[in-house]
Amino acid sequence: MLIKGKWVESNRRSEIKNPYSGKKVGTVSMATGAEVLDAAADAKKFSSALTAYERYDILMRTAQEVEKDSRDYVASISSESGMCVKDAAKEVARAVSLLKVSAEEAKRITGESIFTDVVESAKRNLAVTIREPIGLVCAITPFNRPLNQVVVKLGPAIAANNSVILKPSEKTPLTAIKFVKALINNGLPPRMVAVVTGDPAEIGDALVSCPHIDMVTFTGSKEVGEHIAKTAGMVKLTLELGDSGALIVMDDADLAKAVKTAVAGAYGNAGQSCRGIKRILVHKNIEEAFVRGLKEATEKLKVGDPQSEDTDIGTLINEVQALEVEKRIADAVNKGARLVCGGTRKKAQITPAILTNVPRDAAIVMKETFGPCAPVVTVNDIEDAVSYVNATEYGLQTGIFTNDLAKAFYAAGQLKVGAVIVNNGPQFDSPAIPFGGVKKSGLGREGIKYAVNEMTTVKTIVF
């Protein structure tokens, strides 16, 4: 743990195990509520004197270090999360980009000048706004992207000159700690960031309701997000929660591209991605051809040792999650779905599963299913597809494949989601665009520039 600028260890330890081999890969301290409060109080007291250029420099040099050490990061991510090394390498490359964009954003924090003479009483004034750091940001991150979920919060928080208290997932804290060490190696004042690890049942509420915190930025499940929203009280909140992410494929679509996108979105990171594809809504006229293409591509994927270079699908985070996915597949089949291929579980691994004829109300499509599944739901037309996407409680990102502009515009206008991606999947990502959901998918936006906005407050100065 990093408390008051010093790495400290406690005797109470939590073990991190490789989900594939079951072997121990490390241990971390388990903080107490008192240690969390202590860490937060000191991080709040610390006032950063870093200039925009210095923050740029720290983030840029950290990006270079992560790039140089990418093999170590890949090994660390894969061994603690079971992510296959192919996916882990993509995660590290993305972390480098996120850091570079954060560095650039540190130099772009600006305000406005406003002529106030829209009313008689203010005709001789001029106002300017500046954006100031929000203060102490509490960052709570999930297991599914052990590096990027941390970088996507710490990058903009540091760009905006905030202090941070980070609580990484208890399941994957080792990569997070390695990354914070890299920030400090590259000049970040150690008191500017605190890291606490431990059991959320013991420290979660103490952390979130702590009086020193000015903002909570949380990524994780809807259930924990809702609990945090109730516990945190009157602080700024960004909640990046789940989704039952849809890909819509219309009968005028480029089928080969749609299949390729479906495979990447449904099975990437073994299906454990918030913006992954959790259901595929296929027009009835092309369903047979689409499923044929999807099956052909799916059966080429290799499920195996995550550390092996030719593995496409590693493990889920643990056997409990794999059992849940297995249960959802069985439930859909019991309700009338056809299992076209896959769905076989061995410990924490599941072979990639295609289901057709999936009833619209089955849990596998209505809830967020975090596993390598491609449930196909037949739709009659664009209106039917859009109203079915809107029927769940989530609304993060939806992809639509169509070559008809009218259908693309209709979907863009009618879908109740944070982003509509035309001719790509919900997994589309760029650090330049806003990212976040509506409904139960969350509050606020990430995407570096937008996260910097969330992590700063506007001060107005009137002359």
Q: Quick check: 240 binds ligand NAP (CB under 6 A)? A: yes
- Residue 244 interacting with ligand NAP (CB under 6 A): no
By DSSP bridging, strand 236-240 and strand 456-462 are: unpaired
Site string for ligand NAP, 247-266 (x = CB under 6 A): --------------------
Nearer to ligand NAP, 223 or 404 (CB): 223
Stated as kind and residue range, the H or E segment containing 133 is strand 126-133
Sheet containing 126-133, strands listed edge to edge, beginning at the edge strand earlier in sequence: 113-115, 126-133, 456-462
Residue 409: how many CB atoms within 10 A of its CB? 12
**Applying CB under 6 A, which of residues 94, 227, 327, 347 lies at the interface with ligand NAP?**
227
CB-side neighbour CA atoms (13 Å) of 238: 29
262 closest CA partner among 304, 296, 285: 296
Residue type at 220? G
Residues with catalytic annotation? 240, 274
CB-nearer residue toward ligand NAP: 219 or 315: 219
Which DSSP category does 84 fall into? -
Stretch of residues binding ligand NAP (CB under 6 A), selected from 64-72, 110-118, 217-225, 373-381? 217-225
Query: Angle CA(307)–CA(309)–CA(312) in degrees, nearest 5?
Result: 85
Question: Least Å distance between CB 371 and ligand NAP?
Answer: 12
Instruction: Please report whether residue 219 would count as binding ligand NAP according to CB under 6 A.
Output: yes
Q: Which of the ranges 24-32, 105-113, 141-149, 383-391 carries the binding residues for ligand NAP, by CB under 6 A? A: 141-149
CB 280 within 8 A of CB 375: yes
Interface map 168-207 toward ligand NAP (x if CB under 6 A): -xxx----------------------------x---x---
Using CB under 6 A, count the residues that bind ligand NAP. 25
Q: How far apart are CA 231 and CA 235, in angstroms?
A: 10
Q: Which helix (H) or strand (E) holds 27?
A: strand 24-29
Nearer to ligand NAP, 150 or 160 (CB): 150
Any contact of residue 305 with ligand NAP (CB under 6 A)? no
Binding flag, residue 146, ligand NAP (CB under 6 A): no
DSSP letter for each residue of 295-350: HHHHTTPPB--TTSTT-SB---S-HHHHHHHHHHHHHHHHTT-EEEE---EETTEE
Q: Can you read off the two tokens belonging to residue 319? A: 């056997």
Using the minimum distance from each CB to ligand NAP, give the nearer residue, 224 or 422. Answer: 224
CB of 382 to ligand NAP, least distance (A): 26
Compare residues 141 and 356 and give the one whose CB is closer to ligand NAP. Answer: 141
Please report whether residue 394 would count as binding ligand NAP according to CB under 6 A: no
Which residues contact ligand NAP (rule: CB under 6 A)?
140-144, 167, 169-171, 200, 204, 208, 219-221, 224, 227-228, 240-242, 274, 368, 396, 442
